[in-house]
Amino acid sequence: MADLKLTGVGKTYGGTVEVLKDINLDIATGELIVFVGPSGCGKSTLLRMIAGLEKITTGTLEIDGMVVNDVPPAQRGIAMVFQSYALYPHMTVRENMSFALKIARKPQAEIDAAVMRAAKMLQLEPYLDRLPKALSGGQRQRVAIGRAIVRDPKVYLFDEPLSNLDAALRVATRIEIAQLKESMPNSTMIYVTHDQVEAMTLASRIVVLADKGIAQVGPPLELYERPRNEFVARFIGSPAMNLLPGEIIGTGEKTTVRIAGGGLAVSAVPTRAADKGLKVNVGIRPEDFVITEAEDHVYDGEVEFVEALGEVTVLYFRPEPGRDAVLAKLPGVHADLRGRRVRLAADPARVHLFHGGESLLWRD
Partner 1 sequence: MHPALQGLITIIIGVGGCVGYFWLSNLVLDKVLFPPRGPNAGRNINRANMIRPWLFLFPALAALGLYLAYPVFETLRLSMIERDGVEEHWVWFANYARMAAEPKFIEALRNNFLWLLVVPAASTAFGLLAAQLTDRLRWGNLAKSLIFMPMAISFVGAAVIWKLVYDYRPIDQEQIGVLNAIVVALGGEPQTWLQIPFWNNFFLMVVLIWIQTGFAMVILSAALRGIPEETVEAAIVDGANPFQIFFKIKVPQIRGTIVVVWTTITLVVLKIFDIVFAMTNGQWGTQVLANYMFDKLFRANDWGVGSASAMVIMVLVTPILVWNVVNARREMK
Which string of DSSP letters, residue by residue, matches 331-354?
ES--GGGTT-EEEEEE-GGG-EEE
Rule CB under 8 A: say whether 55 interacts with partner 1.
no
List 4, 27, 32, 79, residue binding partner 1 (CB under 8 A): 79
Q: 84 near 164, Cβ under 8 Å? A: yes
Which is nearest to 39 in space by CA: 163, 132, 155?
Answer: 163
90 near partner 1 (CB under 8 A): yes
Using the rule CB under 8 A, give the single segment among 19-27, 75-83, 115-123, 321-329 that binds partner 1.
75-83
Q: Which stretch binds partner 1 (CB under 8 A): 33-41, 45-53, 314-322, 356-364?
A: 45-53
Min separation Cβ 175 and partner 1, Å: 25
Say whether residue 17 binds partner 1 (CB under 8 A). Answer: no
Q: How far apart are CA 63 and CA 76, in angstroms?
A: 7
Q: Residues 160 to 219: which contact partner 1 by CB under 8 A?
A: none
Residue 344 binds to partner 1 (criterion: CB under 8 A): no
* 78 in contact with partner 1 (CB under 8 A): yes
Angle CA 115–201–193, to nearest 5:
70
Stretch that binds partner 1, among 85-93, 110-118, 286-294, 334-342 (CB under 8 A): 85-93
Nearer to partner 1, 7 or 92 (CB): 92
| Contact yes or no for 315/328 (Cβ under 8 A) | yes
* β-bridge mates for residue 281, sequence order: 245, 354
What amino acid is encoded at 22 in this protein?
A: D
Report the b/e string of 168-181 with b at 16+ CB within 10 A.
Answer: eebeebbebbeebb
3-state secondary structure of 161: coil
When binding is defined by CB under 8 A, the residue of 9, 51, 149, 190 that contacts partner 1 is: 51
Question: Smallest gap, in angstroms, from Cβ of residue 198 to partner 1?
Answer: 20
Among positions 52, 146, 161, 246, the unique one binding partner 1 when judged by CB under 8 A: 52
Nearer to partner 1, 103 or 109 (CB): 103
DSSP letters along 203-269, please? Answer: -SEEEEEETTEEEEEE-HHHHHHS-SBHHHHHHSSSSPPEEEEEEEEE-BSSEEEEETTS-EEEESS
Among 50, 100, 199, 243, binds partner 1 (CB under 8 A): 100
Is 70 an interacting residue with respect to partner 1 (CB under 8 A)? no
10 Å Cβ neighbour count for 302? 12
Binding residue for partner 1, selected from 28, 67, 74, 249, defined by CB under 8 A = 74
- Measured from the CB atom, is 44 or 216 closer to partner 1? 44
Of 142-171, which residues contact partner 1 (CB under 8 A)? 147, 151
Give the binding range for partner 1 (CB under 8 A) out of 21-29, 47-55, 175-183, 275-283. 47-55
| Distance from chain centroid for Cα 194 | 6
Using alpha carbons, select from 25, 360, 350 the residue that is nearest to residue 205.
25
For partner 1, the closer of residues 87 and 330 by Cβ is 87
Does residue 82 interact with partner 1 by CB under 8 A? yes
Nearest approach, Cβ of residue 74 and partner 1 (Å)? 3
Give the number of residues in contact with partner 1, rule: CB under 8 A. Answer: 26
Q: Are 7 and 63 in contact (CB under 8 A)?
A: no
Q: Which amino acid is at 256?
A: T
In 3D space, the residue among 27, 28, 47 whose CA is nearest the CA of residue 37 turns out to be 47
Residues 66, 67, 73, 79, CA torsion sign: positive
- Give yes or no for residue 86 binding partner 1 (CB under 8 A): yes
- Check residue 223 for interaction with partner 1 (CB under 8 A): no
Is the Cβ of residue 74 or residue 333 nearer to partner 1 in the bound state?
74
Q: Note the residues at the interface with partner 1 (CB under 8 A).
A: 51-53, 72-75, 78-80, 82-91, 99-100, 103-104, 147, 151
